[in-house]
Amino acid sequence: MAEWKGIIGNSFSADSFDSYCHTLTWSTWRPSFIVLHNTGIPSLTQRPNGFNKDQINGLQSYYRDDQNWKAGPHLFIDDRQIWVFTPLTVSGTHSPSWNKLALGIEMLGDYEHEPFDSGRGLAVRKNAVQAIATLSAILGLFPDSLKLHREDPLTTHACPGKNVRKLEIIQEVMDLMIKRHAGEHPIKPAA
Ligand SMILES: [Zn+2]
Protein backbone atom coordinates (compact mmCIF):
# COMPACT_ATOMS: atom_id res chain seq x y z
CA MET A 1 0.00 0.00 0.00
CA ALA A 2 1.41 3.34 -1.06
CA GLU A 3 1.93 5.89 1.68
CA TRP A 4 -0.47 8.76 1.09
CA LYS A 5 1.19 12.17 1.35
CA GLY A 6 -1.88 13.97 2.64
CA ILE A 7 -3.64 17.09 1.45
CA ILE A 8 -3.81 20.69 2.62
CA GLY A 9 -7.49 21.00 1.64
CA ASN A 10 -7.76 24.78 2.01
CA SER A 11 -8.95 27.28 -0.56
CA PHE A 12 -7.50 30.70 -1.27
CA SER A 13 -8.20 33.80 -3.27
CA ALA A 14 -5.41 34.70 -5.72
CA ASP A 15 -4.04 37.24 -3.23
CA SER A 16 -4.20 34.97 -0.20
CA PHE A 17 -2.64 32.17 -2.26
CA ASP A 18 0.29 34.48 -2.99
CA SER A 19 0.70 35.22 0.73
CA TYR A 20 0.40 31.52 1.57
CA CYS A 21 3.10 30.53 -0.93
CA HIS A 22 5.48 33.08 0.60
CA THR A 23 5.30 31.09 3.87
CA LEU A 24 6.48 27.84 2.22
CA THR A 25 10.02 26.47 1.94
CA TRP A 26 11.02 23.92 -0.66
CA SER A 27 13.84 22.13 1.16
CA THR A 28 13.47 18.43 0.28
CA TRP A 29 11.85 18.81 -3.16
CA ARG A 30 11.96 21.74 -5.55
CA PRO A 31 9.87 21.77 -8.73
CA SER A 32 11.50 22.74 -12.03
CA PHE A 33 8.33 23.61 -13.95
CA ILE A 34 4.54 23.50 -13.88
CA VAL A 35 2.20 21.15 -15.75
CA LEU A 36 -1.28 22.44 -16.54
CA HIS A 37 -4.32 20.16 -16.66
CA ASN A 38 -8.09 20.34 -16.91
CA THR A 39 -10.36 18.07 -14.94
CA GLY A 40 -12.47 17.14 -18.00
CA ILE A 41 -14.81 15.26 -15.71
CA PRO A 42 -16.12 17.06 -13.75
CA SER A 43 -16.78 19.85 -16.23
CA LEU A 44 -17.78 23.38 -15.26
CA THR A 45 -21.40 22.41 -15.94
CA GLN A 46 -21.12 19.51 -13.51
CA ARG A 47 -19.80 21.82 -10.76
CA PRO A 48 -21.99 24.93 -11.02
CA ASN A 49 -20.52 26.37 -7.81
CA GLY A 50 -16.94 25.22 -8.24
CA PHE A 51 -15.51 22.78 -5.71
CA ASN A 52 -16.47 22.59 -2.06
CA LYS A 53 -14.60 21.01 0.84
CA ASP A 54 -16.60 17.76 0.65
CA GLN A 55 -15.72 17.36 -3.01
CA ILE A 56 -12.05 18.04 -2.29
CA ASN A 57 -12.17 15.36 0.42
CA GLY A 58 -13.88 13.09 -2.10
CA LEU A 59 -10.99 13.62 -4.51
CA GLN A 60 -8.61 12.63 -1.73
CA SER A 61 -10.50 9.34 -1.29
CA TYR A 62 -10.44 8.78 -5.04
CA TYR A 63 -6.68 9.21 -5.45
CA ARG A 64 -5.73 7.54 -2.18
CA ASP A 65 -8.22 4.66 -1.94
CA ASP A 66 -9.35 3.98 -5.52
CA GLN A 67 -6.20 4.82 -7.47
CA ASN A 68 -3.90 3.81 -4.60
CA TRP A 69 -1.62 6.73 -5.46
CA LYS A 70 0.78 8.43 -3.03
CA ALA A 71 -0.46 11.89 -3.94
CA GLY A 72 -2.58 13.83 -6.41
CA PRO A 73 -2.16 17.14 -8.23
CA HIS A 74 -1.06 20.16 -6.22
CA LEU A 75 -3.85 22.60 -7.03
CA PHE A 76 -7.48 22.46 -8.09
CA ILE A 77 -8.48 25.83 -9.49
CA ASP A 78 -12.11 26.74 -10.12
CA ASP A 79 -13.84 29.98 -11.06
CA ARG A 80 -14.00 31.12 -7.43
CA GLN A 81 -10.85 29.95 -5.70
CA ILE A 82 -7.58 28.10 -5.64
CA TRP A 83 -7.66 24.83 -3.67
CA VAL A 84 -4.35 23.50 -2.39
CA PHE A 85 -4.50 19.71 -2.58
CA THR A 86 -1.13 17.89 -2.41
CA PRO A 87 1.28 20.09 -0.42
CA LEU A 88 3.25 22.28 -2.84
CA THR A 89 6.51 21.32 -1.14
CA VAL A 90 6.30 17.60 -2.03
CA SER A 91 6.06 15.86 -5.40
CA GLY A 92 2.58 14.95 -6.64
CA THR A 93 0.97 12.51 -9.06
CA HIS A 94 -0.50 13.98 -12.22
CA SER A 95 1.68 13.43 -15.29
CA PRO A 96 3.69 10.20 -15.72
CA SER A 97 6.90 11.68 -17.14
CA TRP A 98 7.06 14.69 -14.91
CA ASN A 99 5.78 13.85 -11.41
CA LYS A 100 9.24 14.10 -9.88
CA LEU A 101 10.01 17.37 -11.65
CA ALA A 102 6.87 19.44 -11.78
CA LEU A 103 3.95 20.92 -9.92
CA GLY A 104 0.58 19.79 -11.28
CA ILE A 105 -2.27 22.28 -11.57
CA GLU A 106 -5.79 21.09 -12.38
CA MET A 107 -8.30 23.60 -13.73
CA LEU A 108 -11.97 22.76 -13.29
CA GLY A 109 -13.54 22.40 -16.73
CA ASP A 110 -13.61 20.47 -19.97
CA TYR A 111 -11.80 22.81 -22.32
CA GLU A 112 -12.20 20.53 -25.28
CA HIS A 113 -15.84 21.65 -25.19
CA GLU A 114 -16.25 24.49 -22.69
CA PRO A 115 -15.08 28.04 -23.49
CA PHE A 116 -11.83 29.19 -21.88
CA ASP A 117 -12.11 32.83 -22.95
CA SER A 118 -15.51 33.83 -21.55
CA GLY A 119 -17.78 33.28 -18.58
CA ARG A 120 -16.73 30.83 -15.90
CA GLY A 121 -13.93 29.39 -18.04
CA LEU A 122 -12.36 32.84 -18.21
CA ALA A 123 -12.63 33.15 -14.42
CA VAL A 124 -10.82 29.81 -14.03
CA ARG A 125 -8.20 30.98 -16.51
CA LYS A 126 -7.58 34.21 -14.59
CA ASN A 127 -7.19 32.35 -11.30
CA ALA A 128 -4.82 29.87 -12.95
CA VAL A 129 -2.69 32.64 -14.46
CA GLN A 130 -2.45 34.30 -11.02
CA ALA A 131 -1.44 31.04 -9.34
CA ILE A 132 1.16 30.24 -12.03
CA ALA A 133 2.58 33.79 -11.78
CA THR A 134 2.89 33.45 -7.99
CA LEU A 135 4.62 30.07 -8.15
CA SER A 136 6.90 31.15 -11.01
CA ALA A 137 8.01 34.25 -9.12
CA ILE A 138 8.62 32.47 -5.81
CA LEU A 139 10.34 29.43 -7.32
CA GLY A 140 12.25 31.36 -9.97
CA LEU A 141 10.64 29.41 -12.83
CA PHE A 142 10.61 30.85 -16.33
CA PRO A 143 6.98 31.15 -17.46
CA ASP A 144 7.91 29.59 -20.81
CA SER A 145 8.87 26.38 -19.01
CA LEU A 146 5.12 25.71 -18.57
CA LYS A 147 3.94 22.42 -20.03
CA LEU A 148 0.53 21.05 -20.87
CA HIS A 149 -0.26 17.50 -19.75
CA ARG A 150 -0.86 16.50 -23.39
CA GLU A 151 2.81 17.27 -24.16
CA ASP A 152 3.86 14.40 -21.90
CA PRO A 153 5.01 11.64 -24.30
CA LEU A 154 3.77 9.02 -21.83
CA THR A 155 0.16 10.19 -21.82
CA THR A 156 -2.67 9.66 -24.26
CA HIS A 157 -4.92 12.20 -22.49
CA ALA A 158 -5.86 15.21 -24.59
CA CYS A 159 -5.46 17.35 -21.48
CA PRO A 160 -6.18 20.20 -21.16
CA GLY A 161 -8.59 20.54 -24.09
CA LYS A 162 -7.87 22.41 -27.33
CA ASN A 163 -9.28 25.69 -25.98
CA VAL A 164 -6.23 25.96 -23.69
CA ARG A 165 -3.43 27.39 -25.83
CA LYS A 166 -0.05 27.32 -24.11
CA LEU A 167 1.53 30.40 -25.65
CA GLU A 168 -1.42 32.55 -24.63
CA ILE A 169 -1.17 31.37 -21.02
CA ILE A 170 2.59 31.95 -20.94
CA GLN A 171 2.11 35.48 -22.28
CA GLU A 172 -0.59 36.23 -19.71
CA VAL A 173 1.63 34.94 -16.88
CA MET A 174 4.54 37.08 -18.09
CA ASP A 175 2.35 40.16 -18.42
CA LEU A 176 1.03 39.67 -14.89
CA MET A 177 4.49 39.11 -13.41
CA ILE A 178 5.71 42.34 -15.01
CA LYS A 179 2.64 44.21 -13.77
CA ARG A 180 2.98 42.88 -10.21
CA HIS A 181 6.65 43.85 -10.00
CA ALA A 182 6.40 47.09 -11.92
CA GLY A 183 7.17 49.12 -8.81
CA GLU A 184 10.59 47.55 -8.47
CA HIS A 185 11.90 49.02 -11.70
CA PRO A 186 10.25 52.40 -12.13
CA ILE A 187 10.54 53.92 -15.53
CA LYS A 188 10.93 57.69 -15.33
CA PRO A 189 8.42 59.56 -17.42
CA ALA A 190 9.96 61.60 -20.17
CA ALA A 191 10.80 65.11 -18.96
ZN1 LIG B 1 -4.08 16.19 -17.22
Distance 22 CA to ligand 1 centre (A): 26
3 Cα: distance to centroid of ligand 1 (angstroms): 22
Report field, pTM of the whole predicted structure over 0.85: yes
What are the chain's domains? 10-182 (3.40.80.10)
Question: Which helix (H) or strand (E) element contains residue 186?
Answer: none
Q: What pLDDT, on the 0 to 100 scale, is given for residue 181?
A: 85
> What pLDDT is attached to residue 191?
54
Distance 35 CA to ligand 1 centre (A): 8
For residue range 54-94, what is the model confidence (pLDDT) as tens digits?
999 999 999 999 999 999 999 999 999 999 999 999 999 99
- Cα 161 to ligand 1 centre (Å): 9
Instruction: Determine the distance separating the centroid of ligand 1 and the alpha carbon of 188, expressed in angstroms.
Output: 44
Rounded distance from Cα 159 to ligand 1 centre (Å): 5
C-alpha–C-alpha distance, residues 10 and 3, integer Å:
21
Q: Please tell me the distance between residue 150's alpha carbon and the centre of ligand 1 in angstroms.
A: 7
Q: Residue 3, SS3?
A: coil
Cα 178–180–182 angle (5° rounding)?
A: 60
From the CA of 1, how far away is ligand 1's center (Å)?
24
For ligand 1, the distance from its centroid to the CA atom of residue 52, given in whole angstroms, is 21
Q: For residues 81 and 43, give the distance between their C-alpha atoms in angstroms, rounded to a whole number.
A: 16
Ranges of residues in the chain with a pLDDT under 70 are: 1, 183-191
Q: How far is CA 64 from CA 73, 84, 130, 154, 191, in A?
A: 12, 16, 28, 22, 62
pLDDT at residue 186, rounded to an integer: 57
